[in-house]
Amino acid sequence: MKLLEERIRKDGRVLGQDVLKVDTFLNHQIDPELLSAIGEEFARLFAGKNIDKILTVESSGIAPAVFTGLALHVPVVFARKNKSLTLPDDVWIADVYSFTKQTTNHIMIDHRFLKAGENVLLIDDFLANGQAIEGLLAITQQADAQVVGVGIVIEKTFQKGRQILDDRGIQVESLARIQSFESGQVQFLS
């Protein structure tokens, strides 16, 4: 997606070897016009998939997921993160190791918001090592729901998330695919 690549080139900041900071437009301050275009693009890519709802993880997946839900006219559910040892009843739950925070969280979705047989689209801001999406996959499996695809705003192709999802035969659509951060510069996969 050209508009997104241009924005990453202009405003993205590379931190260390493998982290891209996009807090000026995606996950702290949010540019609604860009996010609206992102939602429309996911809706186009997953058209005709009979999607019942969109799942994401709080907090940075919520903005792209909501704009996609708006474009597809379906509800959006975000998995909540929970660090406490006491867990509520009636939730689907998975453990997710956070790439950027280097901590493990439970993520959970109330049984009321994910039912057997529902067709779900998973959306997230980044695909790195695939832990967040694997957590959502585990939750959909527990609920007996079907994953019809995964939409990622920014994929880092040099990390292992894409391989994990390809091995499972899941349709993954990434709007920007980054090949490397050589010399602190973002190189997109051409």
Contact residues toward ligand 5GP (CB under 6 A) are 19-22, 27, 60-61, 99-100, 124-132, 161
The whole-angstrom separation of Cα 21 and Cα 160 is: 19
Determine contact, residues 154/175, Cβ cutoff 8 Å: yes
The whole-angstrom separation of Cα 158 and Cα 152 is: 15
Nearest to 58 by CA among 24, 118, 109: 109
Phi, psi dihedrals of residue 172, rounded to the nearest 5°: -115, 130
Determine contact, residues 127/152, Cβ cutoff 8 Å: yes
Beta bridge partners of 174: 152
Determine contact, residues 120/146, Cβ cutoff 8 Å: yes
CA-to-CA separations, 27 to 21, 32, 142, 154, in angstroms, rounded: 9, 11, 29, 12
Q: What is the dihedral of CA 121, 124, 126, 128, to 10 degrees?
A: -60
